[in-house]
Structure 1
Amino acid sequence: MDKALSPEVMPDAKGMFGEYGGQEIPPQLKAVMDEITEAYYRIRQTEAFQNELRSLLKHYVGRPSPIYFCKRLSEKCGGANIYLKREDLNHTGAHKINHCLGEALLAKSMGKTKVLAETGAGQHGVALATACALMGIPCEIHMGEIDIEKEHPNVMRMKVLGATVVPVSRGTRTLKDAVDSAFEEYLKDPKNFLYAIGSVVGPHPFPMMVRDFQQIVGEEAREQIQEMTGKLPDMVTACVGGGSNAIGLFTAFFGDENVRIVGVEPSGKGLDTPDHAATITKGKPGVLHGFRCYLLQNDSGEPLPVYSIASGLDYPGVGPQHSYLKDLGRVEYVSATDEECLEAFVALSRLEGIIPALESAHAVAYAMKIAPELPGKNILVNLSGRGDKDLDFVVNRLKL
């Protein structure tokens, strides 16, 4: 692996991935973040923490999640063989539980009295509410009103699990505004609260910490795909909003020069319209929510309103490590439209009996699109979540 990409040396001591990341925050909050960083470095090395996390991932989450060969979908597309890393089979239905358990264990060890978070599609909210219920820690989830209406099943799950769901009515009433709202609540008592960020975004140490907890996805997948096919995949791909599921898969393959790595952003109604959230494709470096990254912004540096059919992808920024990987050229970043996403959602459901999250369907859409150009090659897609939460929306949208 290129030393510059090694998790052992990236980020640097200031939380920087090249020119991205860091702590663009007030001095009083920096002290709190440094305390979290110190606690994380200390706790993650202990045998007790590692043993408890490993046990929960195996016996509670159900890891390892399997690899599945999509025979009928591959035949329909022609060309490449399409494989799925089945994170949708995890307890709570997505990859989010991997880092939520880690964050909840950290909060418990630090003696925090409440855990706060934002959520878009609701998967992070459900996973964190689950982990907090398990640890016996109060949980408060901030969610945009549009997403609450769209993702009703996940809202009900959070409430049943005992979490307080706070509707956010400001701005676009979606993910970015939910982050703002949760962060404001966190600032009321950062000493006793922990803001459990839901992706590889935010000020250091969160991009590093969430990546570390998600690396298990790629570590498992790299071993499993070789057992199944006798070789490494020719391509790995995942959807990218904030970027946690993607970085979880990609990290294990950075050192494999022959493995093409592709992140798929949401191009919504088209890159030539304002209705997309293709941050890396159309953005430029800026500062958002306490860190530096590629950002969809106006001439004044303010975040632009963004849009995606997938609530978990409509974020104007992206993880700092993804921003760095874009500049290095190690990862290609492409996009898929709403219509391509919906086509993939239906195709995977009807050909393989697997209903994907709309977020994950963006990556499936790209695999379907590129497969005819790669005869005999193997594509590994991170199916980061299941689509139960999206059923009402898709049925109404497509009039099924």
Structure 2
Amino acid sequence: MNKRTALYEKHLASNAKVIDFGGWDMPLHYGSQLNEHHIVRKDAGVFDVSHMTVVDLNGERVIEFLQYLLANNVSKIVGKTGKALYTCMLNEKGGIIDDLIVYYQAEQEFRMVVNAATRDKDLAWIEQHASNFAVSVTERTDLAMLAIQGPQAIEKITPLLPDALRDTALNLKPFTACWDDNLFIARTGYTGEDGFEIMLSNEQAPAFWDALLNANIAPIGLGARDTLRLEAGMNLYGSDMGETDTPLESNLAWTIGWKPAERNFIGRDVLEAQKANGEHSVLVGLVLKGKGVLRGHQAVYVDEAGGKGEITSGTYSPTLGVSIAFARLPAGVYEEVKVEIRNKQIPAQVVKPPFVRHGKACIDI
């Protein structure tokens, strides 16, 4: 039997189409994935993301531990209460075990949010290395997590925030968080729109969900979440990256904390060798120039000699009205490629993601 979040019955009450997602029963949509996408781009929607894994890390050597465990350097956020950092957790070969967000709460306290489908291997890897630093690892299965996203999200949620946290929450800068004993509020998201991600107890979640819907914040399923994140140029673990792909091969070089040079994080030697030779594959954005829809695993031809790569994620962009994708290609710099769709090679423009941010196009079509 699949796992269910504290909001499962609420999804059924809103006529959600429920699917299996990483061992969880989750809402794909509540009637129209397309409408839900546009709601988040133009108004405000709420996602149940309680399937994500929340982990609290504590210990005198927790900073030292995270500097070793993560490719990005947590010293960037140390001393900045509530500050968040996006990073990858790598294996010894530089492959991405998972991408995650880590929050600085106090000198010996951090909170980490990792993907649902990778929970078991993530926890095993974290605990394996945490033991060497005497760091405690606590999975917060008592918490639900909601993402309220869209240009009207903050305005609509403001009356629902507790008095003691309201002003602080409304003044949060992107990638920062605040909290009290009941709510953890972060100005983060996976849509390219403004908003909050809020953690609260499983017991509180249903009533808070109802309050959000009563504030005309629409429920949004995982289907729209996927098209929104692709438009926003955000990778999906398991599609655009995995354990055989390094950050340099996944358009995530910006998440590597190269300095200081003496910081020895897992996989660093492999990344340094890749960076030096420059012969690794690259992840790029594509916009289809002809008819068709870009889908995962379609072949991408980069030259007349038959060199090719592959689409990792692809979809029709509801905001742009064209088909867009991520593709992993051989080392090189490209302006145009051809994608095989139904035995035809259709031209596609190579672009630098994101495609859409804050409801507006970031590329020339």
More helix by share: 1
Alignment TM class, shorter chain as reference? under 0.3
TM-score (norm 2): 0.25
- Relative contact order (C-alpha < 8 Å, sep 6+): which is higher? 1
Output the TM-score relative to the length of structure 1: 0.23
